[in-house]
Amino acid sequence: MMMDRRTFVATGLSAAAVSGLARPAAAITAAEIKLPPAPIPGVNIAPQFYPTVVRVKKDFPAGSIVVVSSQHFLYYIVKPGLAIRYGVAVGKAELVYRGTAVIAVKKEWPTWKPTPEMIQRNPAKYGRWANEAMPGGPGNPLGARAMYLFEGQKDTAVRIHGTIEPNSIGTSVSNGCLRMVNEHVIDLYDRVAIGTPVTVY
């Protein structure tokens, strides 16, 4: 099912970096949502791909994630009608993931191992990691954080993760995963819980 971005986003809002006391989600206002600083040195992406608070349709439950791949946007629903929008890089045309999953695993500075399909497509690039995982760290393709998407008990092999190529945000270049600037994925990681539903259109 495809979703037109105009049917999803009602209007954009600016957000002040003001943090209030713990309150029910229904009481949170746009002005109280603290976002990562922008711009980030060394990151050259369009302004719309920095985190911003936006109004969305009220159908989406608080705490869920919605991704509109064609627009390269990920929305974290703060409360019905209000979301934080992040820029992402998505899979190449033939590798775009679409579906509904949940975040079943979260890892800081995750290890990385290419899938058999990635090795088959590009053995010269990925073959050396066929039998061992690359340790986590600044040079790891999964970046600073990773959230693992499962459908039931099945690992989809799709991750929402950081990246060592932040300037790829806003493009369709990955092997199917959803890339974010490291500072942005850390922000999202700290907001979401295990079991968070993720819908990718």
Cα separation, 7 vs 3, in Å, equals 7
**pLDDT for res 131:** 79
Specify the amino acid at residue 179.
Answer: R
Chain position carrying tokens 């993931």: 97
Q: So where are the chain's domains? A: 5-200
- Helix (H) and strand (E) counts in the chain: 4, 12
The CATH homologous superfamily of the domain defined by 5-200: L,D-transpeptidase catalytic domain-like (2.40.440.10)
DSSP 198: E
Per-residue pLDDT of the chain (201 residues; tens, 9 = 90+): 334 444 444 433 322 222 233 456 667 888 899 999 999 999 999 999 999 999 999 999 999 999 999 999 999 999 999 999 999 999 887 788 999 999 999 999 999 877 787 778 878 876 776 778 778 899 999 999 999 999 999 999 999 999 999 999 999 998 889 999 999 999 999 999 999 999 999
Coil vs helix vs strand at 9: strand
- Look at residue 30 in the predicted model and tell me its pLDDT: 83
The structure's pTM equals: 0.82
pLDDT at 19: 28
Q: What is the pLDDT of residue 114?
A: 75
Tokens describing residue 109: 């500075």
